C-alpha cells in the first residue's frame, strides 16, 4: 500500500464560537481521488482553506505528505496546485502567456514544447492557445489551469467545485483528466455537490453535513462507488 498523502485528523474549526468543522477525519493515499460531497454550507470550502493554511484548526490537524500544514506552511507552496471554483488566470493574456507568466512566478519556467505538450494533454483545442482567455469558456479556462498544474508537477491537487457550470461533455472530459492524473500518481482532493461526478472519479467519498463526516464510501477494486447508495445517503440528510 502506498503512503497517505492527504490526512485530516479529528479536525475542528471554529469561527467566532461557531463550530464549522467537527472532528473531521479522512485520508487519501498516493494516486487516489478523494471527493468531499456536501450541500451548501456543509464545510467543504472551509476544509480546503484549512489544507491551504488559510484557516487554522481549533484542534486536530491536517497533513500533506506527512507534514503538518500549520507547523510548516511551505509544504502547500511546494506540493499543491489549487483550482478554485473560478480559475484565477488573466483574461487579457493567452493560455500560453498565462502559463509562462505563472511558471515564471513559481521559478519553474518551461520550454515552449513542454507547454504545448501540456495543452495537448488537457485537450485544449490548438486554435485557442494564442487567444486571450477572456474569450474562453469555463471548461477551457479549467483546462489551462490544469495544464499549468501539470507543468508545475504538483503532486497534490485541490479542486473546488471543478465541474460546476460545465456542460456534460466538458464534465466527462474533466473527469477523464482527473482519473488520468491520479493514475499517474497525483493525489487529488475535490469538493463538490455533484454525486454522479464524484462516484465516477473518486476512490473514496466523504459525505459532509453540517461540518461532520456522516458517511464514507470506498470504491470496490476496479469499480466505481455506487451512485444510488451515495445519492440516497445525501438526500436523507437534505430531508432532515
Ligand X SMILES: Nc1ncnc2c1ncn2[C@@H]1O[C@H](COP(=O)(O)OP(=O)(O)OP(=O)(O)O)[C@@H](O)[C@H]1O
What is the contact surface with ligand X in residues (CB under 6 A)? Answer: 15, 18, 20, 38, 40-46
The DSSP H or E segment spanning 100 is helix 95-105
Q: Which residues contact 118 (CB under 8 A, 6 or more apart)?
A: 99, 110, 147, 148, 150, 151
**Smallest distance, ligand X to C-beta of residue 39, A:** 7
Contact 132, 140 (CB under 8 A): no
Residue with cell 460546476: 164
Specify the residue, 41 or 109, whose C-beta has the smaller distance to ligand X: 41
Specify the residue, 80 or 191, whose C-beta has the smaller distance to ligand X: 191
**Smallest distance, ligand X to C-beta of residue 238, A:** 13
**Smallest distance, ligand X to C-beta of residue 15, A:** 4
**Smallest distance, ligand X to C-beta of residue 234, A:** 13
Specify the residue, 94 or 192, whose C-beta has the smaller distance to ligand X: 192
Specify the residue, 6 or 20, whose C-beta has the smaller distance to ligand X: 20
**Smallest distance, ligand X to C-beta of residue 41, A:** 4
Of 38, 45, 35, the C-alpha closest to 218 is 35
**How distant, in Å, are the alpha carbons of 46, 118, 147, 209 from that of 197?**
21, 24, 21, 18
**Smallest distance, ligand X to C-beta of residue 20, A:** 4
Specify the residue, 60 or 132, whose C-beta has the smaller distance to ligand X: 60
Distance CA 41, CA 151 (A): 33
Specify the residue, 144 or 211, whose C-beta has the smaller distance to ligand X: 211
Residue with cell 483574461: 91
Q: Which ranges of 106-210 does DSSP label H, i.e. alpha helix? A: 112-121, 138-151, 168-183, 195-201
The DSSP output letter for 132 is B
Residue with cell 473518486: 202
Amino acid at each position: 500500500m502506498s503512503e497517505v498523502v492527504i490526512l485530516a485528523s479529528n479536525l475542528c474549526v471554529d469561527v467566532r464560537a461557531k463550530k464549522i468543522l467537527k472532528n473531521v477525519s479522512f485520508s487519501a493515499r498516493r494516486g487516489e481521488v478523494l471527493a468531499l460531497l456536501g450541500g451548501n454550507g456543509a464545510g467543504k470550502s472551509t476544509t480546503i482553506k484549512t489544507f491551504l493554511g488559510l484557516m487554522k484548526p481549533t484542534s486536530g490537524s491536517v497533513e500533506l505528505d506527512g507534514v503538518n500544514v500549520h507547523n510548516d506552511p511551505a509544504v502547500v507552496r511546494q506540493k499543491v496546485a489549487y483550482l478554485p471554483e473560478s480559475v484565477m488566470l488573466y483574461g487579457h493574456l493567452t493560455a500560453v502567456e498565462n502559463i509562462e507568466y505563472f511558471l515564471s512566478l513559481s521559478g519553474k519556467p518551461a520550454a515552449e514544447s513542454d507547454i504545448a505538450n501540456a495543452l495537448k494533454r488537457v485537450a485544449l483545442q490548438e486554435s485557442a492557445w494564442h487567444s486571450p482567455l477572456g474569450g474562453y469558456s469555463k471548461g477551457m479556462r479549467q483546462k489551462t489551469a490544469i495544464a499549468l498544474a501539470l507543468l508545475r508537477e504538483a503532486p497534490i491537487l485541490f479542486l473546488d467545485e471543478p465541474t460546476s457550470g460545465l456542460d456534460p461533455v466538458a464534465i466527462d472530459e474533466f473527469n477523464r483528466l482527473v482519473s488520468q492524473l491520479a493514475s499517474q500518481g497525483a493525489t487529488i482532493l475535490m469538493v463538490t455537490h455533484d454525486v454522479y461526478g464524484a462516484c465516477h472519479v473518486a476512490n473514496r467519498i466523504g459525505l459532509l453535513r453540517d461540518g461532520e463526516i456522516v458517511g464514507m464510501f470506498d470504491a470496490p477494486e476496479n469499480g466505481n462507488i455506487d451512485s444510488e447508495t451515495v445519492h440516497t445517503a445525501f438526500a436523507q440528510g437534505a430531508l432532515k
